[in-house]
Chain A
């Protein structure tokens, strides 16, 4: 069979029929998909918002509580932590450590040994070493004295200093680059 014969045979096989429901059906399906997508997207957003708000609220409440505790003087009665107090403090410590680790990873990524270091950066890095030594001191004491309120507060305060110092290092490195 030649190409012309094949073309003629194909034309002869062609059939037309009415299908009035085809395009409305396609349109309906597209609209349904859009509605489902919107519904899905709004549901996801709402769920995410609820979760974020819950986490933010718990962090704010915990932060306020710890700040309040840190601001208040350590009196005789609060000299040693209760179990609940200890779990609060350890939770705060965990959050600080997570934040510090994230910052430290960023600092490590931006640390370029081939680039000359500014005097401020050198100072801040030296401070970091001093802070780490102080953290080690505090932690060694805490190993033997876990419920001592002063030790726990002091460690939190040093973690706070470390976080600030890491942020300063990041700022300075970004400024330098």
Chain B
């Protein structure tokens, strides 16, 4: 009773915490003014002539490095050194002790930043050095930096840049480029040569690469575009996007992969979705626990998935799909389709070749197949329409409906109804064999000749088509001919009726 009349102790404590936080947040606004820090700046500017064999090496930390090139043979090094301290004297003293060392050897010019030793840290000093370098365009370059960004453009003899904790941007580079970065983004564009990028915990972007591209990354997003050579991407825990490449070979996990407009695609992912559109050659995709969507593939398609849907559209060659526990949908395949899955429904439409489907516990539905159709199912139904080839179906505990089948029909079912309607063709017929149990069989025949052998137990045989009976006829047995005979019609049931009807569409 008392508690309902007053705020609880917990609520009060919460209120106090909030007030303390508010006071904490507001404290700096009312803090007493203190003496401002003193900042000193010094500039460094030196130009040296460079021998043709010399490379440029930069070893730096705590500041940006910006490198551009020119056609001349001299190297210009400019730097701005900034120091702040509690007193002007400390700032000035530290500033004087920051050294920019330029070491000239027959093989390289090395530019190195040397900061004073650590005892200065007790004086509350802070500092940064920013470089601007103008180097000969044909001078090889090797940069090591940390805690600052690096930007390089216009180099024509290959570059190697290792950075950490700062963005890395390179553009308009000719020759081989090796880029490495961590905990910050890396961007490479307009690269006229092979490029290798290693990144971790930072996004990687590479566009307009004239050579081959290799990207290795972790925990970052990789976006690749316009690669004239092969694009090889290895990532984990991050998205990968590749657009417009001669080929795309991608390994990833726990991140989506999107590929479009590539020559060939080879993608191995796990726990991440894969989306592929516009492949000029073959495409191989492997993933798990995520959907695969592919469209407009000129070459053969090979998909392996588990616990994820597969959707495939417009493939100019054959498609082979292996999967489990995911819906399969295929539409528009030129050569043929083979699906091997389990616990999944399968839908296949518009295939200019044979279709083979194996699944369980799911419906198989095919439509407009210009080739043979083979279905192997268990505990699932099978529906096929407009099949221009033979149909062979094996299933159990599910109905089978075949409509407008041009070739021979062979259905083996258990505990499931079967309805077959062959395609009517003037003067032509195909053998029909149907077997099931505990469910009816119904066959809609075209106007053609058949040799009929129908048998059932604990069921009736009914025919709407005139049959000339031959041999023995009993309660569950019918033998005879329809028309002049010719094709075989064998219907076998147990504990179910058999109906022979006309009505197949002409």
User: Interface of A with B (CB < 8 Å)?
Assistant: 33, 37, 40-41, 44, 47-48, 51-52, 54-55, 58-59, 62, 74, 76, 79-83, 87-88, 91, 119-120, 123-124, 127, 130-131, 134, 137-138, 141, 143-151, 154, 157-158, 161
Q: Contacts A48-B18, A131-B201: A58 and B26 contacting too (C-beta < 8 A)?
A: yes
Min distance, Cβ B150 to any Cβ of chain A, angstroms:
12
Whether, in the assembled complex, B118 has its beta carbon less than 8 Å from a beta carbon of chain A, the answer is yes
Among B37, B62, B271, point to the contact of A148 (Cβ < 8 A): B62
Residues B237 and A123 in contact, CB atoms below 8 Å apart: yes
Tell yes or no: B506 within 8 A of A by CB.
Answer: no
B105 contacts chain A at the CB level, 8 A cutoff: no
Enumerate the 3 nearest inter-chain pairs by beta-carbon distance, A residue then B residue, closest first. A147-B126, A144-B121, A58-B25
Query: Known contacts A58-B26, A83-B37, A130-B201: does B19 contact A51 (CB below 8 Å)?
Result: yes
Question: Would you give the 0/1 interface string for B133-177, flagging 1 where the beta carbon is closer than 8 Å to chain A?
Answer: 000000000000001100000000000000001100000000000
Distance of A47 Cα from B271 Cα, bound (Å): 49
Asked, given contacts A55-B21, A123-B254, A134-B183, whether A79 binds B200 with beta carbons under 8 Å apart, the answer is no
Query: Once the chains are docked, how many angstroms separate the CA of A33 from the CA of B19?
Result: 28
Query: A79 contacts B130, CB within 8 Å?
Result: yes
- In the complex the two chains form, what is the Cα distance from A95 to B18 in whole Å? 14
State which of A40, A124, A130 has its C-beta within 8 Å of the C-beta of B200: A130
* Residues from chain A with Cβ under 8 Å of B5 in the complex: 33, 37
Contact between chains at A127 and B219 (CB < 8 Å) = yes
Find out whether the CB atom of B62 lies under 8 angstroms from the CB atom of A54. no
* Nearest CB in chain A to that of B34: its residue: A83
Which size class do B's interface residues fall under?
Answer: 35 or more
A76-B82, A131-B201 given; A82·B36 CB < 8 A: yes
CB contact between B130 and one of A76, A137, A157 (< 8 Å): that residue: A76
Bound-state Cα–Cα, A118 to B305, Å: 19
- A124 to B18 Cα, complex, angstroms: 32
Distance in Å: Cβ of B66 to nearest Cβ of chain A: 12
Q: Are A40 and B165 in contact, with the CB atoms below 8 A?
A: no
Task: Kindly identify which residue among A76, A119, A130 contacts B80, using a CB–CB cutoff of 8 Å.
Answer: A76
**CA A154 to CA B82, docked complex, whole Å:** 19
Chain A's closest residue to B29 (CB) is A58
A127 touches B165 (CB 8 A): no
- By a CB distance below 8 angstroms, the chain A residues around B130 are 76, 79
Does B253 make an interface contact (CB < 8 A)? yes
Q: When the two chains form the complex, which single residue of A37, A82, A151 contacts B147, counting CB atoms closer than 8 Å?
A: A151
Interface-centre pick from A82, A88, A119, A145 (highest chain B CB count, 10 A)? A145
- Complex: how many Å from CA A37 to CA B125? 58
* CB–CB A80/B82 < 8 A: yes
CB within 8 Å of A: which residues of B?
5-7, 11, 15, 18-19, 21-22, 25-26, 28, 31, 34, 36-37, 39, 62-64, 80, 82-84, 118, 120-121, 124-128, 130, 147-148, 165-166, 182-184, 200-201, 218-219, 236-237, 253-254, 270-271
- Is B82 within 8 A of A134, CB to CB? no
Instruction: List, in ascending order, chain A residues with CB within 8 A of B182's CB.
Output: 134
A47 to B12, CA, bound (A): 12
Contact B127 A119 (CB under 8 A): no
- Contact, CB under 8 Å: B127 / A145: yes
Q: How far is the CB of A50 from chain B (nearest CB, A)?
A: 9
Q: Please state if A83 and B36 are interface contacts (CB–CB under 8 Å).
A: yes
Q: Give Cα A131 to B182, complex, Å.
A: 11
Q: How far is the CB of A137 from chain B (nearest CB, A)?
A: 8
> In the complex, what distance in Å separates the CA atom of A15 from the CA atom of B269?
93
**Contacts A88-B28, A138-B147 given; 6 further ones with Cβ under 8 A?**
A33-B5, A76-B80, A83-B36, A119-B253, A147-B84, A161-B183
Question: In the complex, what distance in Å separates the CA atom of A147 from the CA atom of B125?
Answer: 8
Q: Which residues of A contact B147 (CB under 8 A)?
A: 138, 141, 148, 150-151, 154
Residues on B with C-beta less than 8 A from A81 are 126
A79 contacts which of B31, B82, B236 (Cβ < 8 Å)?
B82
Chain B residues positioned under 8 Å from A134 (CB to CB)? 165, 182-183, 201
A54: which B residues are within 8 A, CB to CB? Answer: 22, 25-26
**CB <8 Å contact, B22 and A80:** no
A158 touches B18 (CB 8 A): no
Query: Across the interface, do A150 and B166 meet the contact criterion of CB distance under 8 Å?
Result: yes
Bound-complex Cα distance A87 to B120 (A): 22
Chain B residues within 8 Å of A137, by CB? 165
**Which single residue of chain A is at the shortest CB-CB distance from B236?**
A123
Partner of B18, one of A40, A51, A149: A51
Chain A residues, Cβ within 8 Å of B121: 143-145
- Alpha-carbon gap, A150 to B167, bound state (A): 11
Q: Is the CB of A150 within 8 A of B128?
A: yes
Least Cβ distance of B218 to chain A in Å? 8
Chain B residues with Cβ below 8 Å from A55 are 18, 21-22, 25
What would 11 A/B residue contacts be, using CB atoms closer than 8 Å?
Answer: A41-B7, A47-B15, A79-B82, A79-B130, A144-B125, A145-B62, A146-B124, A150-B166, A151-B62, A154-B165, A161-B201
CA–CA, A146 and B121, complex, Å: 9
Instruction: List residues of chain A with CB within 8 A of the CB of B84.
Output: 80, 147
CA distance A17 to B25 in the complex (A): 65
Once the chains are docked, how many angstroms separate the CA of A146 from the CA of B126?
6
Check B127 against A148 for contact (C-beta < 8 Å): yes
In the bound complex, do residue A80 and residue B39 qualify as a contact, i.e. CB atoms below 8 Å apart?
A: yes
Nearest CB of chain B from residue A8's CB, rounded to whole Å:
39
Task: Give Cα A150 to B128, complex, Å.
Answer: 9
Smallest Cβ-Cβ distance to A73: which chain B residue = B149
User: In the complex, are the beta carbons of A154 and B183 less than 8 A apart?
Assistant: yes
Residue pair B128, A91 in contact (C-beta under 8 Å):
no
Q: How far is the CB of A31 from chain B (nearest CB, A)?
A: 14
B15 partner residues in chain A, CB cutoff 8 A: 44, 47-48, 51
Q: Which of A83, A137, A157 has the most CB of B within 10 A?
A: A83
Which residue on A lies nearest to B254, using beta carbons?
Answer: A120
Q: Chain A CB within 10 Å — which of B11, B15, B39, B165 has the most? A: B165
